[in-house]
Amino acid sequence: QRRLLEEKMNQNKGFYITTPIYYVNDIPHIGHAYTTIAADILARYMRLKGRKVFFLTGTDEHGQKVERAALQKGKTPKEHADIMVENFKTLWKGLNISNDAFIRTTDEEHKRIVQEILQRLYDKGEIVKRKYSGMYCTPCERFWTEKDLVEGKCPDCGRDVEFIEEENYFFLMSKYQQALIEHIEKKPSYILPETRKNEVLGFLKNRTLGDLCISRPKHRLEWGIILPFDENYTTYVWFDALVNYYSALKYLAPENVEWWPPDHHLIGKDILTTHAVYWSTMLMALELPLPRNIFAHGWWTVKGKKMSKSLGNVVNPSEVIKKYGVDAFRYFLFREVSFGLDGDFSEEALIRRINNDLANDFGNLLNRFLVMNEKYMKGAVKINSII
């Protein structure tokens, strides 16, 4: 009865699914394609079931890396972003992605909504200004404590960090630590797979959650959204980026449909903390319902090695689909490994799947069907099924 009631309630709510918004300075690789195809599969399935679907993807376009890359090329950050965003739009078209909208954090509507949310949190006393000192990684645009560092370097990218002391604005994330723990424990499907849920709970239970620095001085970072309550500061790129899931509904989604909360945020496991902790506590402070599910899938390696530009083993999805076809590529990604786990890519494995599964098994099944259909039904096909 509860299941039937939930299904009835779902019919009154649109199905809202998102990918992360991808950093515009990146060149799309197999990881970007994997997350987006996963969302596409689920969006198509729900449309077949008769649900109203809003499938959102897009690009994250602010921050120091974009600013510096643009300067090196003699362009403005916006000009640089306008060029780089086409890499993603072109790939999504090539992969037959059926997204309903594509959001850019440089959209004027998005920037306005980010400022509205910042002002709302500031007025509620959820954002305060204080002096801060710490080790800063410019490529990651993130502060670290001494104990976070690995051999004195950034734990994420392995690059050098620099000591910075300055005044900044902080979102009082720490006050929501216990509330977030309770929410995750009461909603077993909030974070999936279960290993990821346990990872987040371990993080929250075994350390004191700090407050989140959500600004950068404008003299150090000009390419960002200006804080509405202090024009000398710009917004931290992650705060700006996460708000896209909410802002898109205000100007990109069909009206007169109840979309919030999102049904699924599909992400890679490397950005689990930002979504499960930063985003969740931001929504709590805003008194907005939390997403129904955050699903953090695994990574793709290449012949057992992590993809790296220095190793020259980054898989370009455009080249793969040009050589083997888009349907074969999509099939391989979601047949080769259980969704949520890490996977390993090689052309040999792809060819094996094409030959064994598609040509031999599926091809043989199709051939048998056609022969029997001609023999017993004179080639007529009658479809009488309900999805």
pLDDT digits (tens, 9 = 90+) for 270-289: 999 999 999 999 999 999 99
pLDDT class of 387 with cuts at 50, 70, 90: very low
Helical segments of the chain, H only: 2-11, 30-48, 64-72, 77-94, 108-123, 177-186, 194-205, 237-242, 244-251, 272-273, 280-286, 317-324, 326-335, 347-353, 363-377
- 282 by DSSP, 3-state: which? helix
pLDDT recorded at residue 1: 56
- The separation between the first and the last C-alpha atoms of the chain, rounded to the nearest angstrom, is 21
pLDDT of residue 384 exceeding 70:
no
Do 182 and 146 form a contact (C-beta atoms < 8 A)?
A: no
The per-residue DSSP string of 26-45 comes to: SPP-HHHHHHHHHHHHHHHH
Residue (of 290, 275, 63, 284) closest to 172 by Cα position: 284
Question: For the segment 326-337, what is each residue's pLDDT rounded down to a tens digit?
Answer: 999 999 999 999
Give the span between the Cα atoms of 268 and 162, in whole angstroms: 28
- Mean pLDDT, residues 31-52 taken together: 97
Furthest-apart CA atoms within the chain: distance in Å: 81
Q: What is the CA radius of gyration of the chain?
A: 23
pLDDT of residue 386 exceeding 50:
no
How much of the chain exceeds pLDDT 90, in percent?
72
pLDDT recorded at residue 5: 59
